[in-house]
Amino acid sequence: MSVSRHMLQAVSSELDLPGGVVDAVRFDGAGALPSYYAVTDLAAASVGAAGLALRQLIVALGGDAAPVRVDRRLASLWFGWSIHPIGWERPPLWDAVAGDYATADGWIRLHTNAVHHRDAALAVLGCAVDREAVARAVAGWRGEELEAAVVGNGGCAAMMRSAAAWAAHPQGVAVAAEPLIAVEARPLEGAGAGQGWPRAATAARPLAGLKVLDLTRVLAGPVATRFLAGYGADVLRIDPPSWNEPGAIPEVTLGKRCARLDLRQAADRAVFEDLLARADVLVHGYRPAALERLGYGEQFRRALNPGLIDVALDAYGWTGPLADRRGFDSLVQMSCGIAEHGMRMRGAGKPVPLPVQALDHATGYLMAAAVVRGGLFRVADGRSMRARLSLARTAGLLAGFAPEAGAQPLAAAGEADLSPVIEHTEWGAARRLLPPVLVGGAAMAWDRPAASLGSSPAGF
């Protein structure tokens, strides 16, 4: 059995899909991303899990039990950039300060793409927006002390740890004990009972009519909702007035409407609560206590919308001392030993991360699979569902499998990998990669081009 199939079997078990359905998935496509980890297998398995869950939903809706075909090459390419601009350039992904810096006793990564995160780090370091000045300041700190200082000041940082150090760390211990996808289904009572699947859904567009409220940022959550939109879901992304992430927006807003609400204002809270009450799905990536502080904790959500499919992610896991810590893929790679392992294996003088933001992308497809699994519960007997995932736990899945030896390097994307469809975005024309998964006659296709944050009104 291939590594991809072993990984897919592990995910299928977590989703409690019927035994043997993994056999419906066929992997093809040549090449592998260059890594000391099985990154291409993770890409294929996570995309395959979302496709497999969708296949089971189609069956539950009365469609055929069609095969699922996953192209390992295209899945790997989608873990990078799916959008290929025509006559314009994507905005830079990283800001001028973000990156890895040598400390007095090792390495640390500063994540400064958000202005307030950059300001928090620079305030601790006492320097201006200048990489050389930052490097000089960081060199005078021990890694653990600087990490604590930056995080304590509201910033985002992670010192480089080995896999062994992470396994012994209280947070590593806590994450290792968590499920990859924590699924909890509940029977509905009262007004929520009997809530079925949208009538617009068909075998060709199995998520048509599904109202998805998206409270996620940057990559993992937006990857999940991009997948859902590709099969017909009506995805409405909500951001606060000041938030922006220009480097990722053309990549991740495909198929969605994007609105802004200030949840500190009574009028916007009323709009949000109406949206939440009418949504079929909530996908959120705020830190565990953030929605509680806004007054929208789990108890409130369940009372307002008993049938809600509620899927959430965070960076560092849902238990343990760092469960509420801000985090991103590149930081988790530093914390859990991935970057240190790459450095040792290559004999490099600095951290060696994965070739793509694989924890983000994989977690995104696993979240999409969890949403569709929630649909299966609803179609079968009207149950609601919540699911919890984390980047750190996905890192554990990746670390548990060695890459297969002898795989040929993945060739760069070329004309044959691109859809002929022209996407007319507000930045200019573009083409997307061909879909990485085919599920019977259900086409992965998007009804809207990528658009900027705040470009749509807040309404379903």
Gap between the Cα atoms of 424 and 306, Å rounded:
38
Alpha-carbon gap, residue 138 to 125, rounded angstroms = 7
Residue type, 398: L
Q: Within 10 Å of residue 189's Cβ, how many Cβ atoms?
A: 8
Element (H, E) at 258: strand 256-260
- Residues 6 or more apart whose CB falls under 8 angstroms from that of 363 comprise 46, 220, 223, 224, 313, 389, 390, 391, 394
One digit per residue, the tens of pLDDT, for the chain of length 460 reads: 699 999 999 999 999 999 899 999 999 999 999 999 999 999 999 999 999 999 999 999 999 999 999 999 999 999 999 999 999 999 898 999 999 999 999 999 999 999 999 999 999 999 999 999 999 999 999 999 999 999 999 999 999 999 999 999 999 999 999 999 999 999 886 555 556 899 999 999 999 999 999 999 999 999 999 999 999 999 999 999 999 998 999 999 999 999 999 999 999 999 999 999 999 999 999 987 899 999 999 999 999 999 999 999 999 999 999 999 999 999 999 999 999 999 999 999 999 999 999 999 999 999 999 999 999 999 998 899 999 999 999 999 999 999 888 889 999 999 999 999 999 999 999 999 999 999 999 999 999 999 999 999 999 9
380: its two tokens: 């079968």
With b meaning 16 or more CB within 10 Å and e meaning fewer, what string describes 64-74? eebebbbbbbb
The DSSP secondary-structure symbol of 415 reads G
Residues 355, 377: Cα–Cα separation, whole Å: 36
Please tell me the predicted confidence (pLDDT) of residue 189: 66
Q: Which of 432, 451, 24 is nearest to 236 (CA)?
A: 451
How would you label 237-269 residue by residue, b for 16+ Cβ within 10 Å and e otherwise? bbbeeeeebeebbbbbbbbbbbbbbebeeeebb
Q: What's phi and psi for 171, nearest 5 deg?
A: -75, -40
Look at strands 157-159 and 107-110 and give their pairing: antiparallel
pLDDT at 19: 87
Spell out the residues 6+ positions from residue 274 whose beta carbon is closer than 8 angstroms to its own: none
Q: What is the pLDDT of residue 404?
A: 84
Question: What residue spans of 305-357 are helical by DSSP H?
Answer: 329-335, 338-346
pTM equals 0.97
Residues 343, 161 contacting (CB under 8 angstroms): no
